[in-house]
A = this chain, B = another copy of it.
Amino acid sequence: MHLVEIGRVRSRLTDKATAPKSEHEGAPDALVAINPAYAEALDDLEPGATVVLITWLDRADRSTLKVHPRGDPSRPLRGVFTTRSPDRPNPLGLHEVTIRSIDNLTLTLGPLEALDGTPVVDIKPLRTINDKAS
């Protein structure tokens, strides 16, 4: 089960310690530069769409099985599968983002809390419990 990099995040966020923990905490817009090998898979993507961006959180600790939620040591340890901690066996990040613009192979989207240089592994249309028909 080997992931290929379909693109890479370009962001002003470079420091894990100070970056927002979720996109709803002041995360900025960012760019995703798509690998030309996957250009065709972008066809029909339109500005304004909300999508799920899946990233590989390459600065995460994959040996972590329990965490203090939000890194707060006053909160009891929890199994990582009940948290959104990036530290987990497979550090996949799920990000609901809005496509702001598309310029050839560069997507501007946000808000996104992923750090600069984070590999992107998939893009999917958003589908929620309240949106079963899409």
Residues of A within 8 A of B (CB): 1-6, 22, 24, 38, 40-45, 49-52, 54, 56, 58, 62, 65-66, 77-84, 88-90, 92, 94, 96, 119, 121-125, 127-129, 132
Contact = CB atoms under 8 A, between A and B. Distances in A.
A22 B92 CA distance: 22
B1 A43 contact: no
B3 A122 contact: no
Contact of A94 (B5, B94, B132): B94
The 3 closest A-B pairs by CB, nearest first: A43-B79, A1-B3, A81-B123
Given A1-B58, A42-B81, 10 more contacts: A1-B56, A38-B89, A45-B79, A81-B124, A83-B124, A84-B127, A92-B121, A92-B122, A94-B124, A96-B129
Q: How many copies does the complex hold?
A: 2
A97 to B, nearest CB: 11
